[in-house]
Amino acid sequence: MKTEKAYKLLSIQEGISNRSAKDLIDKGVVYVGNKKVKIARADMKIDTKFKIKKIEKIKKIFEDDNIVAVDKPAFLTSEEVAKKLKYPLLNRLDKETSGVVLLYKSEDFREKAIEEFKKHRVLKEYVAWVEGRIAEEIEINSPILTLKNKKGKAYSKISHEGKEAITFIEPILIEGNKSKIKATIKTGRTHQIRVHLKSIGHPIIGDEQYGGKPAHRIMLHSSKIKLLEYEFISNEPETFENP
C-alpha cells in the first residue's frame, strides 16, 4: 500500500495547510487510534485516519494594572499565550505542563518581580503524577546543568557543574504503583521538577524525555504562585485525574 508523510495526510484529512498539520503533530495532540503521532514526517499508509485532541482555551485568573495571571492549558507554549494576550512573560511553563502563567503590564512591576525571583521569595507549587510509591516528604537538593542538543532543544541533568536547585516533595495520594505528589520549588531551573524526580527514581508519568512511561501528556500542573502581594491558584484540569 502507498504511504505518505503523516503531516501531509493530516493536512488533506483536515483541509488545513501542511504547516498547520505539522504544528498539530508537534504539539502532541494527533492520534491514530490510541497511539500518539510523534513524528510529523513519519511515513504512514494513505488510508490512515487521525484523531485530534482538543486544546483547551486559555483562562484568565486575574488582571490589574501590573499583572495578568492565566491558566495555561497543556499543549500550548508559554510564548503562544504571550502572543495571544499581547503581554510579555514573567514565567514560563513547558508545553505539556498546565497551570499558572504570569505576564506583566508595566516595566516597574517587572523589575520588582524579577528581584523576588532572584532572591527565591516566590512560592511555586506544582502537582504531579509520578511512577512508584512516594509515602513521605523528600527534599531534593541537586545542582542542575542545562544544555542544548543538536537541534537546539534544551535538556537538563544533575551535575556538580550545574546551578543550585531545590525541590520539596510531599505525597498526596498513592494509587497502585503511582503517586500523586506536590512539588514546591525554591529555584526555577529548566525542567527542574522533571529532572529531580527522575533522579530519585520517580519520573513524571508521560515525561518520556526523562524516563517516564507514555501518557496523553506530561502529568505536571502548576497549581499555585505567590509573588509579592499576589496569590494565584489554578485548579487541576479534568485530564489530570487519569494519568
Q: Which residue has the cell 527514581?
A: 201
Which candidate, 155, 97, 87, places its Cα nearest to that of 125? 97
The β-bridge relationship of strands 59-63 and 67-72 is antiparallel
Cβ atoms within 10 Å, residue 156 = 22
CB 190 within 8 A of CB 140: no
Respond yes or no: is residue 94 known to be catalytic: yes
Residue with cell 482555551: 57
Pick the catalytic residue from 23, 26, 71, 94: 94
Are the CB atoms for 142 and 196 separated by under 8 Å?
Answer: yes
In three-state secondary structure terms, 207 is coil
User: Checking DSSP bridges between strand 166-175 and strand 178-185, what pairing results, if any?
Assistant: antiparallel
What does the DSSP 8-state code read for residue 162?
A: S
Residues with catalytic function: 94
